[in-house]
Amino acid sequence: RLDEMDVYSNILYVQDQSMALSQLAHTAMRVDKYRPETCCIVGNYYSLKSLRTKAIQYFQRALKLNPNYTGAWTLMGHEYVELKNTPAAMEAYRQAADISPKDYRAWYGLGQAYEILSMPLYALYYYKKACAVRSYDARMWSAVAGCYLVLGKRREAVLSYERALQDDTEGIATTQLAKLYQEDGMQDEAAQCFIQHLQLRYLATTVHPSGTPTLNDIVQGVVVQATEASALLFLAHYYQNLQKQGTSFLDTAALCASRLLEYPGPEKEEGKAVLREIRSRSSQTVEMNM
């Protein structure tokens, strides 16, 4: 049976499962090498190996067998994008959209193609088409927001990122929206976005977390990469200066800053500076209380 195996091959491709995809391609060729699904599976295998021309040949074979095979048109469009053949990519995506207007990947691909051509207004149009089909996908709304930013429509960009945040399970929109809030002087909102981003990354890398993690759990357990370092640095400064009903949050600030000591970027030195300032402030408080 090869039904839906092309969809399974897409999953293996996204997961970078080269060995499993190779085995699936060999099995499909043995079962029926003249099925369009088989050609698509083999095309995905060659794509994962970055053999673009070979992948396109197999997607074209699939389309000879079934000219209305939307997935093959879309995947071939992706290959042409990688080859920087934007006109061919756009033609492939248009064919897919004409055959299946409900296929968000075709609309999204057209949006990306127009972005490559530095035509944000056209890109926005197609990204909105993708959103209409797949309104729960944070990637679609983030793409819309990015176009609005390029077009100088900041308010619309913020609203689009806020919409993306409702379904963002990967931290796609969190840091972008946080930066916009930060630039607009909305520090509390920016802090919440950065915390949400760290929580998402913490949950993605923690095996079977028990219960709802506290902020301390998140800060201590998150893997610190570039975006996480930026978030931790902002939160270190934010909590360093935060006072609510006479309560100080210097311990939280120190925890955020201390995680930056593990990171090799410039944030490490800034984290050290925050810790020095916290120690100095704590010493002054002790002296005043003596």
pLDDT tens track, the chain, 290 positions: 667 788 888 898 989 888 999 998 999 888 888 899 999 999 999 999 999 999 999 999 999 999 999 999 999 999 999 999 999 999 999 999 999 999 999 999 999 999 999 999 999 999 999 999 999 999 999 999 999 999 999 999 999 999 999 989 888 899 999 999 999 999 999 999 999 999 999 988 887 667 788 999 999 999 999 999 999 999 999 999 887 655 678 899 999 999 999 899 899 999 999 999 988 877 665 555 54
Residue partners of 43: CB distance under 8 A and separation at least 6: 55, 56, 57, 58, 59, 62, 72, 75, 76, 79
Q: Give the CA distances from residue 150 to residues 114, 141, 179, 227, 267, in Å, rounded to whole numbers and listed in that order.
A: 13, 14, 15, 21, 28
Residue 69 phi, psi (nearest 5): -80, 95
For residue 248, the model assigns a pLDDT of 73
DSSP string, 102-155: T-HHHHHHHHHHHHHTT-HHHHHHHHHHHHHH-TT-HHHHHHHHHHHHHTT-HH
Task: Please state the separation of Cα 63 from the chain's center in Å.
Answer: 30
For residue 280, the model assigns a pLDDT of 84
Which residue's entry shows tokens 């609309």?
107
DSSP 213: P
For residue 287, the model assigns a pLDDT of 52
Residue 247 phi, psi (nearest 5): -90, 135
**Amino acid code (one letter) for 175:** T
> Is residue 56 within 8 Å of residue 64, measured between CB atoms?
no
Quote the pTM value: 0.85
For residue 5, the model assigns a pLDDT of 81
For residue 131, the model assigns a pLDDT of 96
Describe the chain by its helix, strand, coil percentages, rounded to 5. Answer: 75, 0, 25
For residue 288, the model assigns a pLDDT of 53
